[in-house]
């Protein structure tokens, strides 16, 4: 099978090291006056998003253009999907158009793995249902490594991931990567928003954020989707906020230099207060910025590295 970036679970330790190293290289490229290199000139990167996304798609498209790749954008509204075309036919059409790589997001868990089994070209999973979102986990790890100057490790960090774990691909990818890199992860949320059986996960679990906070180096806040309220998972958004929103008062219970992360988009006043999101402890904008380097690394890892294009970076 050809190489793709589908999930943290199928990356080897060596793969992870390569991606982290490449991210550093491209972080440097992004600090240049003209942050663009010819590394993937002549390559075509297609983005195939079956779910609305702003930051992830823009981040991938910007990453591709900074590597001088051409970008094909597939948007649902104007596509044949609205005419009933199957996922397989759509994916095979994009491959036939000559795309060298597809960045794909889909609302169904496992969908990207399935498409990967049909195609010859590499795929990057930009989020499949509630399953995985590996580049988000990589950019989060890079952000923490910068912040804590911890090299390629996250040893000793206590990280709480808070909110709707059940529906979160960000949580699933991050739990695996953070723990593999040495961090201790605690999942925090109401019972209805935690997966049914966490016995195989290398994590601690709590329903009480206030009890977990005092040990936290990192508070990773997830978005709460308003549709969960209509499913009666919680009586109201404010009931959720009362126990799980990260506000200044709550954050003050964490370690003094604790940092705050969020994969975006943030809903101010629901899962995180504006003061916390904008505070000096917030790494939210660093995450977005690092996302470009990490996605350049991922694209280059799949399309450039085998062809000795590294010299094209300078």
Partner 1 sequence: MVKKGFSYVIRGGTLVDAIGVRRADLLVEDGLISASAPEIDAPKRYLEIDARGLVVSPGFVDLHTHLREPGNERSETMLTGGMAGILGGYTALVAMPNTTPTIDSPEAVQYAQQIAKDAPLDIYFAGAITKGRLGGNLTEMSKMADLGIKLFTDDGSGVQDVQLMRRALEFAKGIGVTLAQHCEDLKLANGGLINEGAVSSILGVAGIPNAAEDVMVARDLELVRLVGARLHFLHISTAHSAEMVRMAKAEGLPVTAEVTPHHLVLSDSKLMGFDSVFKVNPPLRSETDRLGLWGAFRGGAFDAVATDHAPHHRDLKDTTLDEAAFGLIGLQASFGAVLGELYRQLGPGQDDSNDSPGLSDEQLAHLVSLFTWKPAGIAQIGHIHGCRLVAGNPANITIFDPQARWRLGEADLVSISKNSPYFETDLVGKVLYTLVHGDLKLKEGELCL
List residues near partner 1 by CB under 8 A: 86-88, 106-111, 113-114, 129-132, 167-169, 172, 195-201
Q: 34 or 196, CB closer to partner 1?
A: 196
**Cα separations in angstroms, 222 against 45, 162, 245, 270, 271:** 29, 6, 10, 11, 7
Cβ pair 219, 244 in contact under 8 A: no
How far is it, in rounded angstroms, from Cα 230 to Cα 66? 42
Q: How far is the CB of 240 from partner 1 (least distance, A)?
A: 19
Q: How far is the CB of 124 from partner 1 (least distance, A)?
A: 17
240 Cβ contact list (under 8 Å, min separation 6): 190, 224, 229, 234, 270, 271
Q: 151 or 202, CB closer to partner 1?
A: 202
Q: How far is the CB of 196 from partner 1 (least distance, A)?
A: 5
Q: How far is the CB of 104 from partner 1 (least distance, A)?
A: 12
Q: How far is the CB of 293 from partner 1 (least distance, A)?
A: 27
How far is it, in rounded angstroms, from Cα 231 to Cα 229? 5
Q: How far is the CB of 48 from partner 1 (least distance, A)?
A: 13
Q: Which two tokens stand for residue 54?
A: 């702003």
Q: 43 or 131, CB closer to partner 1?
A: 131
Q: Please choose, from the candidates 216, 211, 311, the residue with its C-alpha nearest in 3D space to the C-alpha of residue 254.
A: 216
131 Cβ contact list (under 8 Å, min separation 6): 7, 109, 110, 169, 172
Q: 12 or 199, CB closer to partner 1?
A: 199
Q: Which two tokens stand for residue 173?
A: 């990818």
Q: 77 or 196, CB closer to partner 1?
A: 196
Sign of CA dihedral 163, 165, 168, 171: positive
Q: How far is the CB of 22 from partner 1 (least distance, A)?
A: 27
Q: How many helices (H) and strands (E) does the chain have?
A: 12, 9
Tell me which DSSP letter residue 106 carries: E
Q: 194 or 292, CB closer to partner 1?
A: 194
């Amino acid at each position: 099978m050809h190489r793709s970036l589908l999930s943290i679970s199928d990356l080897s330790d060596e793969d992870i090291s390569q991606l982290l190293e490449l991210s550093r290289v491209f972080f440097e490229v992004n600090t240049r006056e003209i942050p663009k290199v010819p590394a993937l000139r002549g390559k075509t990167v297609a983005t195939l998003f079956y779910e609305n996304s702003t930051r992830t798609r823009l981040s991938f498209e910007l990453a591709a253009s900074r590597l001088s790749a051409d970008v094909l954008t597939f948007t649902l509204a104007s596509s044949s999907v609205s005419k009933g075309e199957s996922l397989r036919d759509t994916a095979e059409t994009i491959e036939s158009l000559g795309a060298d790589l597809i960045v794909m997001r889909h609302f169904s868990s496992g969908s990207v793995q399935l498409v990967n089994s049909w195609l010859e070209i590499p795929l990057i999973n930009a989020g499949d249902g509630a399953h995985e979102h590996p580049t988000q986990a990589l950019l989060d790890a890079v952000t923490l490594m910068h912040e804590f100057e911890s090299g390629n490790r996250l040893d000793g960090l206590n990280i709480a991931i808070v909110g709707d774990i059940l529906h979160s691909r960000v949580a699933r990818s991050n739990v695996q990567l953070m723990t593999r890199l040495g961090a201790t992860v605690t999942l925090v949320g109401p019972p209805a928003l935690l997966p049914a059986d966490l016995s195989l996960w290398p994590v601690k679990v709590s329903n009480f954020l206030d009890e977990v906070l005092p040990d936290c180096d990192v508070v990773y806040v997830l978005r709460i989707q308003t549709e969960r309220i209509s499913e009666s998972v919680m009586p109201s958004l404010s009931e959720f906020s009362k126990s799980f929103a990260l506000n200044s008062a709550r954050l003050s219970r964490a370690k003094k230099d604790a940092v705050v992360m969020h994969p975006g988009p943030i809903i101010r006043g629901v899962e995180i207060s504006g003061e916390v999101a904008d505070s000096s402890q917030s790494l939210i904008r660093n995450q977005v910025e690092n996302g470009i380097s990490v996605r350049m690394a991922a694209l280059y890892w799949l399309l450039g590295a085998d062809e000795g294009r590294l010299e094209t970076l300078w």
